[in-house]
């Protein structure tokens, strides 16, 4: 095994025993990047020089015995997270030359914990999408099948971990953008509770839905990353001042006596038969561990997609108003007057999907339509949240497929936005309700494409998700495979 193939906890052990240095790990990661990046294209910006400097720094700390579980570990960052002095593009032409003057809180926290950043990874433009096909830097390919998409919008984050081009990464999830690509690339991805992880320095898409979370090779690594990034931040007014438990303490507790809810509304027509089969095996494993699986109902599920595609574009249209060619980012020529400059800049700076969202959102918020769309959607959102509150009085966690299908082929859904939106049908509800969710690998299709299972829990119950996912992962007996690159 090469060092770049190991997990955070495996590398940490080697580091602690002084058997490997951070520099050696970083070397192994960049060697891998040199070999496979031409096929995968996970990265938008590589931070090679800085990474080696940070690794040398980490090695010094290691020699001094100042070691955290993240010291010297190479991590990739979705290009929606502000990094001081390093361009942060959101996959958009309008920000292609934007260099933030500050670090996002999660970046600061990882840095303080001794992590080494390998670079910024690709994403759908402004995190709008499910396939990483709308970035102005081009597509990212799925390491398991180069003809297929890695999922999205955090496709670069998922592909980089799956292809061992980093040890772990961060992404953002507004409607499924961590969990869906994690499922499609065969890695673990967690969307924390809204308010659990600071959004300071996360470029906003839909502020009431966005959350940052980790992509890792296993559940233990997910717990380690959560220990670093979770917690209150006075610079994010929606961050919640609650203590952060040690998430690694939930790892080996088992789920004997638990009740797992299986929502009837999530096992519907249109799910790929192989995904359905994998869900049945997942249920069997869980029951074998002493948990009871019971059917539950989330009656307003049918409204989730419609509600999301009012609320998310409405918030996006307002958040993206700041990209006007004046304050920062790209400016298209100088028009005859200010208005013409705005028009030219925004026409040339944004891609088609982003423009579609801005138009839908502006319409939904406009005078005379606000009550019919945004207000109504917000009311239904309350009902969706209520469904989950009720469900969690009957069960500890909920199990669903993460995505209705495995990775689809490049280009397959680009001309049909509705088909693309349907890819998030099982993940969107957690963002609307603000609850945490995790996707863990639960098998492969016959063609060798990964499948993911999603677990959902009540607000701030990330520990339960780790407990559940870790018990499942340890006992599922899944074949250990790596993409053949
Ligand atoms: N695919 C969904 C969308 O396009 C969710 C994206 C996300 O979670 N950032 O809006």
Residue 441, CA distances (Å) to 71, 179, 293, 445 in order? 26, 11, 19, 12
Sign of CA dihedral 436, 440, 442, 448: positive
Reported as a single tens digit per residue, the pLDDT across 430-466 is: 999 999 999 999 999 999 999 999 999 999 999 999 9
Q: Which of 378, 413, 445 is the last residue of a domain?
A: 378
The predicted structure's pLDDT at residue 353: 97
Question: Is any atom of ligand 1 closer than 6 Å to the C-beta of 130?
Answer: yes
Instruction: Tell me the whole-structure pTM to 2 decimals.
Output: 0.98
Question: Is any atom of ligand 1 closer than 6 Å to the C-beta of 229?
Answer: no
In a domain? residue 69:
yes
Is 78 designated active site? yes
Query: Could you tell me which of 376, 377, 379, 386 has the C-alpha nearest to residue 297?
Result: 386
151 & 8 share domain:
yes
What's the gap in Å between 309 CA and the centre of ligand 1? 10
Question: Is any atom of ligand 1 closer than 6 Å to the C-beta of 312?
Answer: yes
3-state secondary structure of 6: coil
245 & 306 share domain:
no
Atom 5 (ligand 1): residue with closest C-alpha? 175
CA distance 207 to 239: 12
3-state secondary structure of 459: coil
224 & 306 share domain:
no
213 & 326 share domain:
no
- Ligand 1 pocket mutation, candidates 213, 424, 439, criterion most atoms within 8 A of CB: 424
> Which residues on adjacent β-strands are paired with residue 188?
216
Question: Is any atom of ligand 1 closer than 6 Å to the C-beta of 176?
Answer: yes
Give backbone dihedrals phi and psi of 295, rounded to 5 degrees, phi first. -75, 135
Instruction: List the structure tokens of 53.
Output: 């400097």
Question: Is any atom of ligand 1 closer than 6 Å to the C-beta of 315?
Answer: no
Instruction: Give Cα 129 distance to the centre of its chain.
Output: 12
Instruction: List the structure tokens of 69.
Output: 């579980």
Task: Specify the ligand 1 atom closest to the Cα of 129.
Answer: 4
Contact call for residues 200 and 105 (beta carbons, < 8 A): yes
Instruction: List the structure tokens of 182.
Output: 């994690």
In a domain? residue 102:
yes
3-state secondary structure of 363: helix
Task: Specify the ligand 1 atom closest to the Cα of 172.
Answer: 9
Residue 370: how many other CB atoms lie within 10 Å: 13
Question: Is any atom of ligand 1 closer than 6 Å to the C-beta of 361?
Answer: no
Catalytic: which of 42, 135, 153, 172? 153
Task: Specify the ligand 1 atom closest to the Cα of 353.
Answer: 4
The predicted structure's pLDDT at residue 164: 98
User: How long a stretch of residues is the chain?
Assistant: 485
Contact call for residues 233 and 19 (beta carbons, < 8 A): no
In a domain? residue 409:
no
What's the gap in Å between 462 CA and the centre of ligand 1? 21
Residue ranges, the chain, pLDDT below 70 = none
How do strand 116-121 and strand 259-263 relate by DSSP bridges? unpaired
What's the gap in Å between 130 CA and the centre of ligand 1? 6
CA distance 403 to 184: 8
Instruction: List the structure tokens of 466.
Output: 């780790």
CA distance 6 to 4: 6
Residue 343: how many other CB atoms lie within 10 Å: 14
3-state secondary structure of 148: strand
Contact call for residues 397 and 391 (beta carbons, < 8 A): no
334 & 215 share domain:
no
80 & 204 share domain:
yes
What's the gap in Å between 432 CA and the centre of ligand 1? 12
Question: Is any atom of ligand 1 closer than 6 Å to the C-beta of 127?
Answer: yes
The predicted structure's pLDDT at residue 269: 86
What's the structural domain count of the chain?
2
In a domain? residue 232:
yes
- Ligand 1 pocket mutation, candidates 127, 307, 316, 352, criterion most atoms within 8 A of CB: 127
240 & 327 share domain:
no
What's the gap in Å between 129 CA and the centre of ligand 1? 5
3-state secondary structure of 173: strand
Is 367 designated active site? no
Query: Could you tell me which of 442, 467, 438, 401 has the C-alpha nearest to residue 190?
Result: 438
Atom 10 (ligand 1): residue with closest C-alpha? 128
39 & 175 share domain:
yes
What's the gap in Å between 186 CA and the centre of ligand 1? 19
Question: Is any atom of ligand 1 closer than 6 Å to the C-beta of 177?
Answer: yes
Task: Specify the ligand 1 atom closest to the Cα of 178.
Answer: 8
Question: Is any atom of ligand 1 closer than 6 Å to the C-beta of 317?
Answer: no
Task: Specify the ligand 1 atom closest to the Cα of 309.
Answer: 10
Is 130 designated active site? no
Catalytic: which of 21, 22, 28, 78? 78
231 & 162 share domain:
yes
Question: Is any atom of ligand 1 closer than 6 Å to the C-beta of 178?
Answer: no
The predicted structure's pLDDT at residue 206: 98
In a domain? residue 89:
yes
In a domain? residue 328:
yes
Residue with structure tokens 């995505």?
Answer: 403
Question: Is any atom of ligand 1 closer than 6 Å to the C-beta of 174?
Answer: yes
In a domain? residue 212:
yes
In a domain? residue 123:
yes
The predicted structure's pLDDT at residue 328: 85
50 & 136 share domain:
yes
What's the gap in Å between 16 CA and the centre of ligand 1? 39
Catalytic: which of 22, 28, 131, 177? 177
CA distance 355 to 360: 9
Residue with structure tokens 């990353």?
Answer: 225
What region, left, alpha or beta, does residue 398 occupy, with left being phi > 0 and alpha being psi -120 to 50 degrees? Answer: beta
Range of the domain at 30: 3-249
How do strand 116-121 and strand 74-78 relate by DSSP bridges? parallel
What's the gap in Å between 471 CA and the centre of ligand 1? 29
Which segments of 41-128 does DSSP mark as H helices, in order?
A: 48-63, 105-112
What's the gap in Å between 175 CA and the centre of ligand 1? 5
Q: Which of 316, 343, 378 is the last residue of a domain?
A: 378
CA distance 321 to 317: 6
3-state secondary structure of 273: helix
190 & 333 share domain:
no
Question: Is any atom of ligand 1 closer than 6 Å to the C-beta of 153?
Answer: yes
């Amino acid at each position: 095994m090469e060092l770049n193939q190991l997990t955070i906890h495996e590398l940490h052990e080697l580091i602690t025993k002084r058997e490997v240095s951070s520099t050696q790990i970083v070397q192994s990661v960049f060697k891998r990047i040199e070999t496979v990046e031409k096929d995968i294209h996970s990265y938008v910006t590589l931070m090679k020089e800085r990474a080696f400097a940070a690794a040398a720094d980490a090695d010094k700390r290691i020699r001094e015995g100042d070691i955290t579980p993240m010291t010297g570990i190479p991590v990739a960052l979705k290009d929606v997270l502000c990094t001081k002095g390093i361009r942060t593009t959101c996959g958009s032409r309008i920000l292609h030359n934007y260099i933030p003057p500050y670090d996002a809180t999660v970046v600061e926290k990882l840095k303080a914990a001794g992590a080494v950043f390998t670079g910024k990874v690709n994403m759908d433009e402004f995190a709008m999408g499910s396939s990483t096909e709308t970035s102005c830097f081009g597509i990212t390919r799925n390491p398991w099948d180069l003809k297929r998409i890695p999922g999205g919008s955090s496709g670069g984050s998922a592909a980089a971990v799956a292809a061992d081009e980093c040890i772990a990464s961060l992404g953002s999830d507004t409607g499924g953008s961590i969990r869906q690509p994690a499922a499609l690339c065969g890695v673990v991805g967690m969307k924390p509770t809204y308010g659990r992880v600071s959004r300071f320095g996360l470029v906003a898409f839909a502020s009431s839905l966005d959350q940052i979370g980790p992509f890792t090779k296993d559940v233990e690594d997910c717990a380690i990353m959560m220990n670093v990034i979770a917690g209150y931040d006075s610079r994010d007014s929606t961050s919640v001042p609650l203590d952060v438990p040690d998430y690694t303490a939930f790892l080996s507790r088992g789920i004997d006596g638990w009740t797992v809810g299986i929502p009837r509304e999530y096992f519907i027509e249109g799910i790929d038969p192989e995904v359905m089969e994998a869900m049945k095996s997942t249920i069997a494993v869980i029951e074998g561990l002493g948990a009871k699986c019971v059917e539950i109902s989330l009656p307003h599920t049918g409204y989730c997609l419609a509600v999301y595609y009012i609320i998310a574009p409405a918030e996006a249209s307002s958040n993206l108003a700041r990209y006007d060619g004046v304050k920062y980012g790209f400016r298209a020529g100088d028009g005859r007057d200010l208005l013409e400059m705005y028009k030219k800049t925004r026409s040339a700076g944004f891609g088609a999907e982003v423009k579609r969202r801005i138009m839908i959102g502006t319409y939904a918020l406009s005078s005379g339509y606000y009550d019919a769309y945004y207000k109504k959607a917000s009311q239904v959102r309350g009902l969706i949240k209520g469904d989950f509150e009720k469900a969690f009085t009957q069960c500890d966690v909920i199990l669903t497929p993460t995505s209705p299908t495995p990775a689809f082929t490049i280009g397959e859904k680009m001309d049909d936005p509705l088909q693309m939106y349907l890819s998030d049908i099982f993940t969107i509800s957690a963002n609307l309700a603000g609850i945490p969710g995790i996707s863990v690998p639960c098998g492969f299709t016959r063609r060798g494409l990964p499948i993911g299972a999603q677990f959902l829990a009540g607000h701030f119950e990330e520990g339960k998700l780790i407990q559940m996912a870790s018990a499942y992962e340890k006992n599922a007996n899944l074949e250990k495979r790596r993409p053949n690159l």
